[in-house]
Structure 1
Amino acid sequence: MIRVLLADDEAMVRAGVGAILAADPGIDVVAEAADGREAVAMAQAHRPDVALLDIRMPRLDGLAAGAEIRRTVPGTGVVMLTTFAEDEYIARALGDGAGGFLLKSGDPRELLAGIRAVADGAAYLSPKVASRVIAELADGPSGLLGRRTRARERVAALTGREREVLALVGAGLANAEIGRRLHLVEGTVKAHVSTILGRLEVRNRVQAAIVAYEAGLV
């Protein structure tokens, strides 16, 4: 029996998806949640085989909830269920360890196949999502997934402190604010920023912030 946590902030969607899952004798919905924080708590309490999460939820979105579930309940596979097949959603979900990415507009059989695949330790992408991932990979460094890989490689060359500073630059903080956050004098922060720009081979803070975002620091 595959134990599933279902999280979606729309009650009608939960009811519809729950009915599809309940029709399969090999699947048991052990918990439901209406927002991301509740989903994390339910996953920690029930330790389901699979957490099926909507992306757009209040308090904590499904992507962040999925990452937290993967971190705190590593035995639970994560499947994202969404109306949107946006490239950034796909890249972030897969980068955070989600095993499946499904569209609400897809065939109910895709939902069941995705749940079973992730429960078995495999991965499953709806056909429309798979085609986008393949296109991104085919684009190489110019594609989103390629850019994220390159950004992470560039950031890996920084020291731990430099990565902390870069993350705060990416969040839009000024040098004085970064200094207060990290308990550093402003001059030291300025020196770190200068070094970061040189090592990343970017010309300004905006370009550094883009690298931080693509590397997943923000």
Structure 2
Amino acid sequence: MAKIRVLVADDHTIVRKGLRMLLADEDSVEIVGEAADGQEALDKIPETKPDVVILDISMPRLSGIEAAKAIAQQYSTVKALIFSMHNNQDYILKSVESGAAGYLLKDTDKEEILLALQKVSQGDKYFPPTISSVFVDALLGRSRGRTATRGNDDSPLSKLSRKERQILTMIAEGLNSREIAEKLNLSIRTVTNHRANMLRKTKVKNTVELVRIAVEEKKS
């Protein structure tokens, strides 16, 4: 089985070295390089050929969010995983909007880091429960104040059925179609059909677009 190739970008040397030491004995992971800022990470991608780039948010020259956006635009096979000390709604949503495949807090344990690397390297999203609760609230627009003053009738999200909202919540939590099917006792085909229906009803290309809609509603 091929190792997951990881490039670590953080402006603190101790964080980079700490991650390298933490993952050094893992057969499934190989640290292929380090970068002290987002721009250096971008510059090193052609040379190191990572599967996943772990990005701090606050870095000189190019932030992690800006680097994640550039990676999504320039390297379709490379996934960006934000690794931050900030459990902040704006940072989380901006990371998702930028194209990041996941978001981890720096107090995350080794097992969760490995799980996140595995998920995002396979093309899935990964957001731990502490993060996905923020993500889900933005996605589904649960604010009572907004509902009372504006209503949700004009929102594309209002067109989703209860089951579709449930599935959308699980997608936000980082579950793939197989895992959703197992939790809801459905077939994978049924889950896939629900996902397609959500995109058709809301007339968006993917679930990241749903996040963008939710963020725009929240700010309006």
Which range, TM-score by smaller chain?
0.5 to 0.7
The TM-score with structure 1 as length reference comes to 0.63
Aligned positions of 1:36-51 closer than 5 A: 36-51=38-53
Matched, 1:52 2:25: no
Moved over 3 A (4+): 140-143
Over the aligned positions, Cα root-mean-square deviation in angstroms equals 2.5
- Checking the alignment, whether the CA contact within 8 Å between 1:4 and 1:52 is kept in structure 2 is yes
Indicate the residue corresponding to 1:172 in structure 2: none
Aligned positions of 1:4-23 closer than 5 A: 4-23=6-25
Post-superposition offset of 1:45: 2.7
Equivalent position to 1:115, from 108, 114, 117:
117
Post-superposition offset of 1:126: 2.0
In 2, Cα distance between the equivalents of 1:20 and 1:135?
33
Q: 1:39 to 1:139 in 2, by over 3 A?
A: same
The TM-score with structure 2 as length reference comes to 0.62
In 2, Cα distance between the equivalents of 1:96 and 1:52?
14
Identity level (%): 35
Aligned positions of 1:66-85 closer than 5 A: 66-85=68-87
Post-superposition offset of 1:39: 0.7
In 1, Cα distance between the equivalents of 2:144 and 2:77?
34
In 1, Cα distance between the equivalents of 2:85 and 2:35?
18
3-state SS of the aligned residue for 2:103? strand
In 1, Cα distance between the equivalents of 2:105 and 2:120?
15
User: Deviation digits for residues 31-55 of structure 1, max 9, x if unmatched?
Assistant: 1100111011112332211011111
In 2, Cα distance between the equivalents of 1:38 and 1:88?
25
Q: 1:142 to 1:11 in 2, by over 3 A?
A: farther
3-state SS of the aligned residue for 2:111? helix
Which has the higher relative contact order, 1 or 2, with Cα contacts under 8 A spaced 6 or more apart? 2
Q: Which runs of 5+ in 2 are unaligned?
A: 146-154, 156-214
Q: Which of these two proteins has the greater Rg computed from alpha carbons?
A: 1
Q: Which runs of 5+ in 1 are unaligned?
A: 144-152, 154-212
Give 1:13's aligned amino acid. V
- Checking the alignment, whether the CA contact within 8 Å between 1:47 and 1:75 is kept in structure 2 is no
